[in-house]
Each structure stands twice: as structure tokens, then as C-alpha cells.
Amino acid sequence: MQAIILAAGMGKRLKELTNDNTKCMVKVNGVTMIERMLFQLDQLNLSGIVIVVGYEGDKLIDYISTLNVQTPITYVNNEIYYKTNNIYSLYLARNYMLKEDTLLLESDLIFEDSVLKKILDDPYPSVALVAKYESWMDGTVVTLDSENNIKSFLDKKQFKFADIKNYYKTVNIYKFSKQFSNTHYVPFLEAYSKALGDNQYYEQVLKVIALLDKPEIKATILGHESWYEIDDVQDLDIAESIFTKSTEDKLKRFQSRYGGYWRYPRLIDFCYLVNPFYPPTKLLDEIKANFERLICDYPSGMNVNSLLAAKYFGINKEQLCVGNGAAELIKSLMNKITGKLGMVLPTFEEYPNRKNPEDIVAYYPDNNDYAYTADNLIDYFDDKDISALILINPDNPSGNYIEKEDVLRISKWAEKKGIKFIVDESFVDFAYTIEPATLLEEEVLNNNPNLIVIKSISKSFGVPGLRLGVIATNDRNLISYLKNDVAIWNINSFGEFYMQIFEKYKSDYENGLEKFKAVRRDYVNKLKEIKNLRVIPSQANYIMCEVLSEYKATILTEELLSEHNIFIKDLSKKKGFNNKQYIRIAVKTTEENNSLVDAMKKILI
């Protein structure tokens, strides 16, 4: 068997990275794509490797000569690479395909070794390597029957998003038998090129062959094997995070993204916190049904959006401001609040990060559960010179919860002290309570003039992509300031439409919370069975745990990501923990929770 690599393209979408070298010479984590691919092929005992070069071909040939590749390499030059596509490059190498079985690869691919093993181990002589279609993929897709026969090759014009569940993306690695090349592919390649020209793609030939009664080519479907096609700088960024050899570096790359994890379809995200049982399918379908109108129309201004949110929570619109996520409101509020701020540490760092360290007066719970009460806070801050006290309830990351009546007791204490009392209740709906624990009530706000309530709709309602949050207080001057401080269109039409309809789904939300609490209870019991893990009581949609014995939280986090595609929150470097070994893990669906429990049992032995 031989290999043919198509490497003639210019790689214009990689911009300055390909100004003076071909695309396959771009480095991924310090190693060029062509070097990685050649070394992988070198392990297969191939008879030879044919590389079709074009753009900056001489540089590529010179570079490859410096590599210690043992397999004989032959070069074919596509002199008109600038006006042809890969069908012509393959046409130039067609005679090699007639001589023996061939692995065909495009040079802009990066993949783990198991990918080549997958296609070579398939007993069928001619196969196309495919993967289940994901949103980040671009290019040719295929449909398959129950026996992995390729029913059709679809180009962009034939692609329908409504049918993506049936689509597979071609990985651009093929195995062609000598017989298939002689009887099918090369004859069709020659005919297609002569009829339609050289500015086409070689997949078009396979598309025609697939229409035959016996096309003699099947698909091999990748499972958990990692691969990526690098066409632009975004692809390069993703590929580097997937294929970094260092578990430490991989974790840092994922942590620095702060979201967008749909680009990693096999990743289970236990780091960022949402409601796993809301929104319901019907609500999502209603948004989908209005998608075209929403994406083409401007959203309303603050006055309308405040009215929508205030209506849902049963308060006056003059008491509330809507934000592009709670983070926007926190930033604006922290800019307005002067003087020293009291807060519990460790905490959600969006608050302390918005102030100078010397302006923070911190209370550190003196127990390993990081638990505290209303009396603890009142006693500690009673003689402190602070202008505001911040309480996250339930707290993040500990999950510590203070009952509503005690929170209101702190509010009255703060009022007497003449200080603002800021309560972030983003996770309060997840708490075990008989009566609603929220402070977003008109009577509560009216009776507590120093109280400021912040709530992340993203977290409670499971819609982080919409970026919605609210802040409420009876301090009308503060609300007026905040509304003037944020942008006139600070939320988009999808966020506004969600607030327009979400009251209809209130019962679904309440049912989802009940299901969540049952799942959390079962989850906690399973976590308690894991050796070298101490589970901290939590009233939120996350659990804080202490990693015991010689195990380190960072190492556990790295291993879960690298070995199990599970992403959790390492707390060891968070302010207030003093490098103690704690982690925070989200509560997700039962299936996902079980995956994490099983993975942790394999590591913490």
C-alpha cells in the first residue's frame, strides 16, 4: 500500500501564516502538519508516499528533506495550482493509484494515530472515512444506509440543516483498492476532468460513482477518535487545544475559552453552571419558529425589556434593569459603589475582580465546608467600615445557603448601618425550600430600601447563550443610573423574545426544578461513594468537593479532561482556598452525572 497526500493549495484563509509557505507547513503546537502526518504514515510500512505539491512547492520539498522520514517519497508538481482545485492535483497522480492500494489524504488534517488504524482495519477494500456531522464542520457530507454504503455525496447546495442528524462529514482520508482505482475511480476521474474542467473537487467523482448500482465503496465511521481539518485561524486554535500533548497546557487552553464548548462535541462540561432540565422543547421550538424574524429585527430598548422582566417577577419596571447577562450588571454596579466592600471569600470572582484589593473587606469561614450563617456575617462586619455587603446565596462555589428570613434579617441590619446589601440569588431556585426563596418581590424591595438583588437568568433557566440577567432594587436613582450606563440595545432580539414568552412555561420551570432536586440528591449519594473525595453540602446546581489523600485538584481536573473529555472547575488557585484541594462540579443529567462518577472512581483509587 502507498499513500498520496494532496498539498498543492495556497491556504489563503490562514492569512499571514501562509504568506511564504504552504498550508501543511503551519505548526500546530510547534509541529508542522506535514511533519506529523509523515511520521504517522512512516509507521505503516508503506511502499511509498506520493506528495502533490504546488504553492511554495520547492520550500515544502526542501523542508521535508530535513525530516527523518524512512518511507520513499515521490513528488508530483501541480504547476497551475493557483487556478485549479484538488481534482486536478489528484488527476496528476492518477497513474500511481493504478499500481497499488492507496491511502488518500489531504495535507491540512491533524488526527490521532487511531484514525489511520480505523480505516486500515476496515476489511472492506475501498472506504471513505467519515464522522458524524457537527456544527463546526464544513465541506462534503454523505448519507449512509444501515450497512454503511454511501447513498449520496452532498455539496453545499444540497445541504439541509433540517436533515443533519442523518449526515456524516467526510474526513478527507480514503482507502482505495488497486482494483477500485482501475475500474471505477481513475476512469471516472479522467472523464469528469475532461468534461467539467480542473476547478472541481475530487469528491465530485465519488458523488458520481455513488450513483452506480454497485459503487464498490463504503464508509468507515469514526467514534471517539480525534481529528480536525485546519482551514483558518479558528480551526488552528481549536486544533491546538485538542492535540496539545501537555495535560497542563490543555486544561489552561480550555479554561481560557470561558465557553463555546459546542466546538468540542464529545466534551461534557461540568465547569459552567446551567439548569439541565430547562428550557423545555416546546419553548425552544417557539423560538425556532420565529428565528428568521428575530435575527432580522432590532430588539426593543430598555424600557420594554424592563417591563417584560418585571412582569415575570411581579415587580415594578422602575425597580428593575435587564442586563446582557448578570456580568454586565455586576460590572456597572461595582463601578457605581464606592468605599469598601464586605464579602465572603472564596466567592464568585466577578465581584472582587471589579474592585481594588484594598477596597475589599473579606470574611473567611473558619471551617472546611466553608459554611457560615447570617449571625456570622453580622457579627464579623458589625464593626467594619464598609459601604456595601455582598452575599451570594447559595454561595459560589461552596453551595452554602442562608434561609430567606435570615437574609432579610441581614438586610435590616445593613439598613440600620447605612450600607448597601447586595444579594446575588442566581442559584436560589435550586435550594430546598417550602416557600419561594427569591427576594424578587415588590413588597420585599419596598420594605428594604438598601437591598439590591441580582439574578442570572442564564444559570437558573438554562439559557446562557441568550445572556440575560436582572438587577432589582427600590433605589430608583440606582436603577436609572444602571439603565443609562448599559448600551441602549444591550440584549438581542432572541433574549427579548425569550422574556416575552417565558411566563407561559412557568409550570415547566417548576417541574424542572423538582426533577433537578431529585437528581441532585441521587448524585450526591453517588459522589459520597468515591474514595478520597469529601462532598460538601450544597443547595445550588453544583457540588463542591475536597480531594483527599495525596491527590491534587489540578491533576484530577487535567486527567478528567485529557482521559475522559470531562471538564470540571479546579478551585485550588481560587482566592480564599489557599491552595487547598477543592473542586466544583455541576449537577447535570443523570447519564452525565454517572459518567463523571465513573471517571472519578477510576482516578481517585
Strand partners, 229: 109
| 160 vs 478, more confident | 478
Contact partners, residue 32, CB within 8 Å, separation at least 6: 24, 25, 26, 63
Domain count, the chain: 3
One domain for residues 35 and 179: yes
Confidence of residue 159 (pLDDT cuts 50, 70, 90): confident
* Whether pLDDT at 341 is above 90: yes
Answer for the pair 405, 579: CB distance below 8 angstroms, yes or no. Answer: no
One domain for residues 260 and 314: no
| 431 vs 209, more confident | 431
One domain for residues 128 and 234: yes
pTM: 0.89
pLDDT tens readout for residues 54-76: 999 999 999 999 999 999 999 99
| 264 lies in some domain | yes
| 514 lies in some domain | no
State the cell numbers at 133: 456531522
pLDDT tens readout for residues 263-320: 888 899 999 999 999 999 999 999 999 999 999 999 999 999 999 999 999 999 999 9
One domain for residues 368 and 484: yes
Residue 203 in 3-state DSSP? Answer: helix
| 162 lies in some domain | yes
Phi, psi of 69 (to 5 degrees): -90, 125
One domain for residues 254 and 188: no
* DSSP-assigned letter for residue 149: B
How many Cα atoms occupy the beta-carbon half-sphere of 47 within 13 Å? 9
Cα(348)–Cα(518) distance, integer angstroms: 26
Query: In one letter, which amino acid is 469?
Result: G
Cα(340)–Cα(353) distance, integer angstroms: 14
Residue 128 in 3-state DSSP? Answer: strand
The DSSP H or E segment spanning 543 is: strand 542-547
Alpha helices in 197-280 (DSSP H): 203-209, 233-243, 247-255
Answer for the pair 52, 93: CB distance below 8 angstroms, yes or no. Answer: yes
One domain for residues 349 and 326: yes
Cα(509)–Cα(174) distance, integer angstroms: 48
CATH of the domain at 388: 3.40.640.10
Q: Which domain holds residue 586?
A: 246-273+528-603
| 521 lies in some domain | no
**What is the average pLDDT value for the chain, to the nearest integer?**
94
Cα(289)–Cα(295) distance, integer angstroms: 12
